[in-house]
Structure 1
Amino acid sequence: MFKKLRFIISLCFCLLFIQVLSAHAFTYPDRVFFHKPQVKVKKAKYVILLIGDGMGYWHVDALRRYLNVSKTNMESLRYFGYMTTFMRNSTGEGGLSGEYWDDPNELGSYDPALGGRTPWEIQPVPAYVDEGATDSAAAGSALASGHKTVKYALNVVPKPEGYPADEPFTVKYYPTIVDFAEAKGMATGVVTSVPFSHATPAAFIAKTQYRKNYGEIARQMIFSNLDVIMGAGHPYYDDNGNLREEPNFYYWSRNKGPYIDDEDGEALYEKVVNGVRGRVFVDKKEDFEDLADGDGLFHGGPMPRRVFGLAQVANTLQASRNIDDGDPSDDWKVGGQAFITNVPSLETMTRAALEVLEQDEDGFFVMIEGGAIDWASHANNMTRMLEEIIDFDNAVKAVIDWVNDPNNGSNWDNTLVVVVADHETGHLQPLNVTGDEVIKEQCWGLNCEGWHHHTNSLVPIYAQGVCARALKAKYDGDIKDNTQIFKVMYQAIERGCYELRIPE
């Protein structure tokens, strides 16, 4: 009887203690231990993918050292990881003879024991990564569609016997993240510092068997539902931003694939200038700046909802320039050679694109490419590479500022930002200097003999926002693949991600 009474008394004390704790938690809400955790699904209304073409881990390290800062803008994003970039049939050089279709079901690979479990594990970067490198078309397709494809091809579905280049064939294609975003009513756009019809921007909308079918790619992009297209490739201007004597429609008309006739590039250009698909055509620097200034107006009137922005330059915004400024002694420095004054920066184009796209109530997807990082790295030109990656990192800052702006509806609970490379270019080696010494001590390739091509190195991932945690490297050797970038973006748009949060 006594034991039973003691049990009842103990039980009453326990119940009373629980009540006191509950009341305590209610009275002192900062004691979150007593609050019930909440599980919330967050979906992305805005997805922004930034691609540093050719930007390896040591490129970002060189940028940080050159600027002599603790973190670059891209490194300030919450999550960091790294990924493989290999493609299908990655051993052949390819061409129009048909080799690039050979063995399309043979996947490339990356061996961490030979290349490193992290981008920095093996120094100097080993010769192993010289084998099996992707190209931007296959790499861009993997990022855009989540599927590996073959060299030079844009979103092509492989088949065991391949697609011979010397006879007619029917090609099947993968849908891209742009297709899925548009199906949900989202606005879409692509922005690049190289020709708008080049491989990486093309990968997000175009479907064709060869990346140099520029006429076909231009046609597909122009007649697509893209709300924003911005880049270089102006037929009336040269690499220094000067008017040509005769226009060059190479990026608008030339096709190299079999059974595809060259487009009439001039006719396509005229359609763009005249607002085909409802896009307002801009090519003057001040027009880009007016779009980007954030006042919600364009030339004093309403902002256009669709834009085709074509910078007044041929191949790249700045990387291909060769301007005689009268003082060649400092041309080796960043900005030592005069910049072209009549073209916008990638940062300005990024701000302009965001201002246009944010008008869509259903949100948007946009891909922003620092394409000429790759061009400068092919040349093993550290000065030009730093100029390009600085502009790209400033574009990343523009995106971060946009997400943090309280006036446009975006925040880190409804936005996904991912910064990646499609591959590494140049086999850049680590440096232990800062400032201008980074340029003077540049070292490309083993023993600094210079490598001018793509490599199979791991490349960095920087991400923040909805579903971004999935891209984090949780331990050394937690290597992602480039196809996972698409999967995370798709997940963020379609289903969202669970987030466990203890209320404050």
Structure 2
Amino acid sequence: MTNRERIAERVAFHKPEINKAKYVILLIGDGMGYWHVDALRRYLNVARTNMESLRYFGYMTTFMRNSTGEGGLSGEYWDAPSELGSYDPNLGGYTPWQIQPVPAYVDEGATDSAAAGSALANGHKTVKYALNVVPKPEGYPADEAFTVKYYPTIVDFAEAKGMATGVVTSVPFSHATPAAFIAKTQYRKNYGEIARQMIFSNLDVIMGAGHPYYDDNGKPREANFYYWSTNKGPYINDEDGETLYEKVVNGARGRVFVEEKSDFEDLADGDGLFHGGPMPKRVFGLAQVANTLQANRNIDDGDPSDDWKVGGQAFISKVPSLETMTKATLEVLEQDEDGFFVMIEGGAIDWASHANNMTRMLEEIIDFDKSVKAVIDWVNDPTNGSNWNNTLVVVVADHETGHLQPLNVTGDEVIKEQCWGVNCEGWHHHTNSLVPIYAQGVCARALAAKYDGDIKDNTYIFKVMYQAIQRGCYTPILPE
């Protein structure tokens, strides 16, 4: 029988099935552009990274609604919120790689993580610094609480279906990207209000940095509740941050509080037990570090000569990796018979890119890519009920950071030949570049670029996740 005849037989006797996603796993490399992934591949000197092993590849725009860019310092902090931003492929490229070096054009109209995260989470564009805000022409006062209409997020829809939910990040748990999937507020730096909303939400797992009692090197410090209490406007009093922290430590909303590396590892080890007893159904994991798991560290290991290398400076030994957090989260969430949605963020890729620090960027994207591998391994594990017919895995960036340029070297030369910005003068901000999409599983085919210039928008990620959960997609029969 010829291959054509075999295909015809399958079409004739096998009716296409509609599969829904019981498990949806979204991984966001914050600030991770196409050339960031290329740099990772070249540094590791491999044919493809873990994220590139996913079946479908595409790319998307990240622009937001118009804003003043003033950062919510006073009054109404956006203008013309009813007008969309834009991306011109004639100037920026029909693919992320078409125009090399990456043109200066992409410096115009860049989003921030709040607007970009909101678009991924709810399927609508919003303005800079806002989390899930429904825009209106005259804007909203930045300093008035609860005067705004908000969009529901994919977490809201997943929970309505009875699914467990979680957010995981390598930066503070209340930072813009994890916040975008649950919190609703005009200003991304309302950390007290965001923390309160997250803590008292139905999220089953919250993991990240932002520990008030540890510094960027994982050393004890005087308490700092910045990511728990700072607000713009009359939300909760700033001094309530300590109260929120104490509620978390004492198991608010039934979440078991973990902070030591060994606790994260115990959750992640796959034996179905936690300290010899049952696995908790809900967890709040707060790594013992201030801003980032590793990116902001500055440790004197006695040998500064190799600090420029990946891992050349000693890592903080008492902090879990994002990979470990990812494994721990999957072990906790898989207990829910109705499935789950989780967002896992490599947040410090962005922080390192803002600094134009290739070494730290590579450390962060390596950990992120290992987290992708952990997810792939989990889906392929025959013991937990997941497979590619009931699971959707999507890997994206919320935007590109640093205007990283393509390189033609491998290994440590990637660090030595780093080039950020036009003419390598260094860019430390977000850009409006196209960013990559890697996906596999239920409805993932919709995210593929079917031809050069088949550009998706970041709002489309939400729509595909929603489709996968609510209605499902036909399983393709013909070769793809």
The TM-score normalised by the length of structure 2 is: 0.96
Please name the residue that 2:363 is paired with. 387
Task: Check 1:262–1:37 CA distance in 2 against 1; reply closer, same or farther (3 A cut).
Answer: closer
Residue pairs, 1:323-362, within 5 angstroms: 323-362=299-338
Q: 1 CA distance for matches of 2:14 and 2:195?
A: 56
**Which consecutive residues of structure 2, in runs of 5 or more, have no partner in the other structure?**
1-8
Q: How far apart are residue 100 of structure 1 and its match?
A: 3.1
CA distances 1:143-184 after superposition (whole Å, capped 9, x unpaired): 000010010000001111111336677101000000000000
Q: How far apart are residue 95 of structure 1 and its match?
A: 2.8
Q: How far apart are residue 82 of structure 1 and its match?
A: 0.2
Q: How far apart are residue 257 of structure 1 and its match?
A: 3.8
Q: How far apart are residue 499 of structure 1 and its match?
A: 2.2
CA contact (8 A) 1:90 1:107 kept: no
Q: 1 CA distance for matches of 2:117 and 2:14?
A: 45
Q: How far apart are residue 113 of structure 1 and its match?
A: 0.2
Q: How far apart are residue 379 of structure 1 and its match?
A: 0.2
Task: Check 1:346–1:33 CA distance in 2 against 1; reply closer, same or farther (3 A cut).
Answer: same
Q: How far apart are residue 441 of structure 1 and its match?
A: 0.1
CA contact (8 A) 1:101 1:164 kept: no
Identical counterparts, % of pairs:
91
Please name the residue that 1:107 is paired with. 84
Q: 2 CA distance for matches of 1:442 and 1:75?
A: 22
Q: How far apart are residue 102 of structure 1 and its match?
A: 1.3
Task: Check 1:263–1:200 CA distance in 2 against 1; reply closer, same or farther (3 A cut).
Answer: farther
CA contact (8 A) 1:163 1:169 kept: no
RMSD: 1.8
Q: 2 CA distance for matches of 1:276 and 1:493?
A: 28
CA contact (8 A) 1:37 1:503 kept: no
Q: How far apart are residue 106 of structure 1 and its match?
A: 1.1
Q: How far apart are residue 63 of structure 1 and its match?
A: 0.1
Q: How far apart are residue 211 of structure 1 and its match?
A: 0.3
Q: 2 CA distance for matches of 1:478 and 1:274?
A: 50
Please name the residue that 2:135 is paired with. 158
CA contact (8 A) 2:76 2:140 kept: no
Q: How far apart are residue 31 of structure 1 and its match?
A: 8.7
SS at match of 1:31: helix
CA contact (8 A) 1:444 1:450 kept: yes
User: Are 1:36 and 2:15 counterparts?
Assistant: yes
Q: How far apart are residue 32 of structure 1 and its match?
A: 8.0
Task: Check 1:168–1:336 CA distance in 2 against 1; reply closer, same or farther (3 A cut).
Answer: closer
Instruction: Give aligned pairs, total.
Output: 472
Q: 2 CA distance for matches of 1:215 and 1:350?
A: 25
SS at match of 1:100: coil
Q: 2 CA distance for matches of 1:37 and 1:276?
A: 45
Task: Check 1:34–1:46 CA distance in 2 against 1; reply closer, same or farther (3 A cut).
Answer: closer
Task: Check 1:67–1:170 CA distance in 2 against 1; reply closer, same or farther (3 A cut).
Answer: same
CA contact (8 A) 1:90 1:133 kept: no
Q: How far apart are residue 99 of structure 1 and its match?
A: 5.5
Q: 2 CA distance for matches of 1:440 and 1:449?
A: 15
CA contact (8 A) 2:143 2:232 kept: no
Task: Check 1:274–1:129 CA distance in 2 against 1; reply closer, same or farther (3 A cut).
Answer: same
CA contact (8 A) 2:142 2:232 kept: no
Task: Check 1:166–1:293 CA distance in 2 against 1; reply closer, same or farther (3 A cut).
Answer: closer
CA contact (8 A) 2:11 2:477 kept: no
Q: Which of 438, 461, 471 is the equivalent residue of 2:447?
A: 471
SS at match of 2:77: helix
CA distances 1:462-501 after superposition (whole Å, capped 9, x unpaired): 0000000000000000000000000000000000011242
CA distances 1:388-438 after superposition (whole Å, capped 9, x unpaired): 000000000000000000000000000000000000000000000000000
Task: Check 1:31–1:301 CA distance in 2 against 1; reply closer, same or farther (3 A cut).
Answer: closer
Q: How far apart are residue 318 of structure 1 and its match?
A: 0.1
CA contact (8 A) 1:403 1:415 kept: yes
Q: How far apart are residue 114 of structure 1 and its match?
A: 0.3
CA distances 1:439-466 after superposition (whole Å, capped 9, x unpaired): 0000000010000000000000000000
Q: 1 CA distance for matches of 2:322 and 2:467?
A: 28
Q: How far apart are residue 264 of structure 1 and its match?
A: 0.7
SS at match of 1:377: helix
Task: Check 1:360–1:130 CA distance in 2 against 1; reply closer, same or farther (3 A cut).
Answer: same
SS at match of 1:212: coil
Q: 1 CA distance for matches of 2:95 and 2:479?
A: 36
Task: Check 1:417–1:263 CA distance in 2 against 1; reply closer, same or farther (3 A cut).
Answer: farther
Task: Check 1:127–1:275 CA distance in 2 against 1; reply closer, same or farther (3 A cut).
Answer: same
Q: 1 CA distance for matches of 2:145 and 2:301?
A: 52
